[in-house]
């Protein structure tokens, strides 16, 4: 268990905008910050962070919370893991009990796989540094590559002994289960006889980390000349490792990418490491796979700019640059840079200083269309047919650009480079887009035929507004934002005078907001109808009765995900409105803090009026038309309710007119 003192220190020091800024590119939007959702694919930002409230809300997925809940949602951390991550980020010492074998056994499957992978990383790293075999083979290899001690530590490079089961035996001896060793692919179990052996036997090891630093899998390079063995071997797909969704080096690069607003994309592990050692940290690798949309989205959380780096003599260069179209389709800006013949990012960075490398990248990074033209013109070699294919290839890339201004610029650039009229390019674009639309319609038609239609002739009804839900939501909002504030309230109630007649009595009282709401609802014995709102209401009233201060980020860390999502939705209503840019449409969004007393009074009175009106309507339904039935009790009750409704109406009218 993590001590309460440690948790309090974490919440005191952690800044939600800093934590999320490590994973999502945030831009200032008034007093808030916004960015693209890290949970769904989108082109317009719907992800809002409030530094003032220290919470975030993703209006696309509905998720929300504080810095801890973000890590739990985004990185799938447990609560203790999120606290430890933040403690490490902010240099806070974690006070906790030692993890026992029983704790390891009780960990869930996914967490167990993470624990096994992290143990393996440490084992491979220590084996390389502390054993004769590791130093002679693994460490020597990395030193030959020119990697310094600091670089080896930074990327936690390691070595797996050239023994059939050295790692597996060590892991089992430390109480890690064979089930998870097998599921992570670290250990291979023969089905026939159950014998085990290490997948990465005799290889130097490259841990592959998530954006938060968790070990997802490994890449292992063999150092012998065994032609039967693959040069590089990756962990197999697992619950925690999906090759198409991972970028090597993203953990080390994320802050530099966000700060410099650009990401260099290379192919291999050593390219990333060598660039880092040279002083350029904003670099990641696709690890030999064709670039995928998921990998592009990973970068897009941090920057809108990618520079793709290619070897000077890459044989499959033309095929490789097809990934550029995917980047364009994601709405990102792309540049391309290739190195001189015989050089790759690793060798060029190793053989040149930071200044030379930086200058080369700056001077040789070309716009994708210029790069494609230079590359493909060589292939066309004045052949008209090949030139036509080349132009079409470039126009296909332009068709992926959704921004009309960018597209117009590229049309003009393509026209200039290829010496062809803009009309021809636009005509070709139209043909491509027409085909895309046709294909999309065809797919839609096929899906529509497969879809079972349940209500053929049913007319769509306009959605009814649930007034009760709106008032209950507003009550919770007021409690969350101003519950402990004090206000003076003027109230009118009726009492009998000396002659027995009802007269209006005016009373002025000072209450804390939560007290006023509690007393008003308790007066009519009202309970909120929405179960989530009811839980929040009960919990927060109890909280206010026991605490003199209220910090929303700490409060929501102790609630369920359902309640957290609801609370952040309520607290970020204004931020949601700002996404719609109502001010540009001349629509004024109400400022709820202009007069707190009016806002509270109006909400409570309107809510009470609504509920009592419903009770009166229900009573009227219960009146029997049968003259032999006694309806006097119902009528008397209705009369009392109508009297109460009139008093509330009078108070409500005073509140509205007064302001």
Strands (E), 177-279: 187-189, 196-198, 203-209, 215-222, 232-234, 263-266
Residues 226, 258, single domain; the answer is no
User: What's the rounded mean pLDDT across residues 603-619?
Assistant: 83
262-277 pLDDT, tens digit each: 999 998 999 999 999 9
Residues 286, 415, single domain; the answer is yes
Confidence of residue 110 (pLDDT cuts 50, 70, 90): confident
Residues 651, 529, single domain; the answer is yes
- Classify residue 456: in a domain, yes or no: no
Confidence of residue 415 (pLDDT cuts 50, 70, 90): confident
216-225 pLDDT, tens digit each: 999 999 998 7
Q: Residue 62 pLDDT more than 80?
A: no
Q: Residue 444 pLDDT more than 50?
A: no
- Classify residue 335: in a domain, yes or no: yes
User: In whole angstroms, how far apart are CA 95 and each of 7, 81, 99, 223?
Assistant: 9, 13, 12, 42
470-481 pLDDT, tens digit each: 888 889 888 888
User: What's the rounded mean pLDDT across residues 441-446?
Assistant: 53
* pLDDT in the model for residue 451: 41
Q: What gap in Å lies between CA 386 and CA 379, rounded to an integer?
A: 8
Residues 206, 262, single domain; the answer is no
* pLDDT in the model for residue 563: 79
Residue 307's SS3 state is strand
Q: Residue 420 pLDDT more than 70?
A: yes
Confidence of residue 460 (pLDDT cuts 50, 70, 90): very low
- Tokens 């038309």 appear where? 625
- Classify residue 180: in a domain, yes or no: yes
- Tokens 């801890």 appear where? 68
- Classify residue 95: in a domain, yes or no: no
Asked if residues 61 and 37 have their Cβ atoms less than 8 Å apart, the reply is yes
Residues 277, 215, single domain; the answer is no
CATH, residue 212: 3.90.980.10
Which range of residues forms the domain containing residue 307? 250-433
Residues 150, 230, single domain; the answer is yes
Where does a domain end: 89, 113, 141? 89
Q: What is the dihedral of CA 464, 465, 469, 471, to 10 degrees?
A: -160
CATH, residue 264: 3.40.1360.10
Confidence of residue 447 (pLDDT cuts 50, 70, 90): very low
Residues 412, 477, single domain; the answer is no
Strands (E), 573-636: none
Question: DSSP character for 43?
Answer: S
- Classify residue 18: in a domain, yes or no: yes
Strand order of the sheet with strand 203-209? Answer: 158-160, 203-209, 215-222, 232-234
- Residue 48 neighbours by CB distance under 10 Å: 25
Residues 299, 391, single domain; the answer is yes
- Tokens 């070990």 appear where? 215
How far is C-alpha 299 from the chain's CA centre?
A: 12
Structure token pair of residue 223:
């150092």
Q: What gap in Å lies between CA 218 and CA 116, rounded to an integer?
A: 12
* pLDDT in the model for residue 102: 61
**More confident site: 363 or 490:** 363
Structure token pair of residue 319:
């095929």
β 55-58/47-50 pair status: antiparallel
Non-local CB neighbours of 136 within 8 Å, separated by 6+ positions: none
Question: What share of the chain has pLDDT > 90, as a percent?
Answer: 27
Where does a domain end: 29, 62, 89? 89
Residues 526, 621, single domain; the answer is yes
β 333-338/55-58 pair status: unpaired
Lowest mean pLDDT among 174-178, 189-193, 437-441, 549-553: 437-441
User: What's the rounded mean pLDDT across residues 33-41?
Assistant: 85
Chain-wide mean pLDDT for the chain? 82
* pTM exceeds cut of 0.75: no
Structure token pair of residue 120:
């393996």
Structure token pair of residue 625:
């038309």
Confidence of residue 584 (pLDDT cuts 50, 70, 90): very low
Q: What gap in Å lies between CA 306 and CA 324, rounded to an integer?
A: 10
Residues 633, 490, single domain; the answer is yes
317-353 pLDDT, tens digit each: 655 667 788 888 888 899 999 888 888 899 999 999 9
75-105 pLDDT, tens digit each: 777 778 888 889 988 999 888 666 566 655 5
- Classify residue 445: in a domain, yes or no: no
* pLDDT in the model for residue 497: 66
User: In whole angstroms, how far apart are CA 152 and each of 127, 138, 435?
Assistant: 13, 11, 51
CATH, residue 41: 3.90.580.10
Residues 52, 110, single domain; the answer is no
Residues 532, 650, single domain; the answer is yes
User: What's the rounded mean pLDDT across residues 27-51?
Assistant: 85
Pick from 105-114, 139-148, 433-442 the range whose average pLDDT is largest: 139-148
* pLDDT in the model for residue 325: 84
Residue 163's SS3 state is coil
Asked if residues 511 and 487 have their Cβ atoms less than 8 Å apart, the reply is yes
Q: What gap in Å lies between CA 541 and CA 546, rounded to an integer?
A: 9
- Classify residue 17: in a domain, yes or no: yes
- Classify residue 413: in a domain, yes or no: yes
Where does a domain end: 188, 207, 241? 241
Non-local CB neighbours of 642 within 8 Å, separated by 6+ positions: 616
Structural domain total, the chain? 4
Asked if residues 94 and 82 have their Cβ atoms less than 8 Å apart, the reply is no
- Tokens 């953990």 appear where? 251
């Amino acid at each position: 268990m993590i001590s309460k003192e440690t948790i309090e220190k974490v919440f005191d020091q952690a800044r939600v905008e800093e934590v999320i800024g490590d994973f999502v590119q945030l831009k200032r939007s008034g007093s808030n910050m916004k960015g693209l959702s890290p949970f769904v694919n989108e082109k317009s930002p719907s992800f809002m962070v409030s530094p003032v409230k220290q919470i975030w809300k993703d209006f696309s997925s509905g998720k929300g919370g504080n810095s801890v809940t973000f890590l739990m949602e985004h990185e799938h951390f447990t609560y203790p893991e999120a606290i430890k991550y933040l403690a490490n980020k902010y240099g806070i010492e974690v006070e906790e009990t030692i993890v026992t074998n029983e704790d390891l056994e009780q960990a869930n499957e996914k967490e167990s796989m993470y624990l096994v992978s992290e143990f393996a990383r440490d084992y491979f790293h220590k084996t390389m540094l502390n054993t004769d075999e590791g130093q002679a083979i693994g460490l020597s290899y990395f030193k030959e590559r020119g990697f310094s001690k600091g670089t080896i530590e930074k990327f936690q490079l390691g070595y797996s002994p050239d023994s059939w089961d050295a790692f597996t035996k060590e892991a089992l001896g430390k109480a890690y289960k064979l089930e998870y060793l097998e599921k992570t692919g670290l250990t291979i179990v023969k089905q026939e006889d159950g014998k085990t052996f290490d997948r990465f036997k005799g290889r130097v090891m490259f841990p592959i980390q998530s954006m938060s630093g968790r070990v997802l899998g490994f890449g292992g390079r063999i150092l012998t000349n065994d032609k039967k063995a693959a040069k590089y071997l990756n962990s197999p797909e697992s619950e925690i490792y999906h090759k198409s969704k991972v970028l090597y080096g993203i953990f080390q690069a994320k802050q530099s990418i966000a700060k410099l607003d650009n990401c260099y994309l290379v192919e291999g592990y050593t390219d990333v490491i060598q660039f880092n050692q040279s002083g350029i940290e904003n670099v990641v690798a696709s690890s030999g796979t064709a670039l995928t949309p998921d990998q592009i989205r990973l970068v897009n959380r941090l920057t809108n700019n990618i520079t793709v780096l290619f070897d000077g003599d890459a044989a499959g260069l033309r095929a490789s640059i097809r990934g550029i179209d995917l980047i364009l389709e994601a709405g990102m800006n792309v540049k391309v840079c290739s190195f001189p013949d015989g050089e790759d990012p690793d060798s060029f960075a190793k053989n040149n200083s930071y200044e030379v490398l930086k200058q080369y990248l700056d001077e040789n990074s070309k716009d994708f269309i210029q790069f494609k033209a230079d590359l493909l013109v060589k292939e066309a070699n004045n052949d008209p047919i090949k030139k036509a294919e080349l132009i079409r290839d470039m126009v296909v890339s332009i068709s992926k650009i959704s921004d009309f201004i960018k597209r117009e610029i590229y049309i003009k650039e393509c026209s200039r480079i290829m010496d062809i009229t803009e009309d021809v390019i636009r005509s070709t674009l139209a043909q491509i887009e027409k085909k895309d639309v046709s294909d999309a319609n065809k797919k839609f038609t096929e899906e529509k035929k497969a879809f079972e239609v349940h209500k053929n002739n049913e007319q769509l009804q306009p959605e009814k507004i649930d007034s009760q839900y709106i008032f209950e939501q507003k009550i919770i909002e007021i409690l969350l934002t101003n519950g402990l504030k004090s206000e003076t309230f003027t109230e009118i109630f009726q009492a009998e005078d000396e002659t027995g007649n009802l007269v209006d009595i005016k009373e002025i009282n000072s209450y804390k907001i939560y007290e006023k709401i509690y007393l008003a609802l308790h007066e009519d014995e009202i309970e909120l109808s929405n179960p989530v709102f009811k839980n929040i209401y009960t919990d927060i009233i109890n909280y206010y009765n026991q605490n003199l201060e209220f910090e929303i980020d700490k409060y929501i860390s102790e609630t369920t995900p359902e309640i957290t999502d609801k609370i952040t939705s309520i607290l970020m209503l204004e931020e949601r409105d700002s996404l719609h840019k109502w001010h540009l449409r001349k629509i004024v969004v109400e400022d709820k803090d202009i007069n707190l007393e009016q806002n509270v009074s109006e909400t409570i009175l309107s809510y009470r009026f609504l509920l009592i009106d419903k009770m009166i309507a229900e009573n009227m339904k219960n009146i029997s038309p049968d003259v032999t039935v006694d309806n006097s009790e119902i009528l008397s009750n209705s009369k009392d309710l109508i009297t109460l409704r009139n008093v509330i109406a009078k108070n409500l009218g005073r509140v509205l007119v007064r302001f």
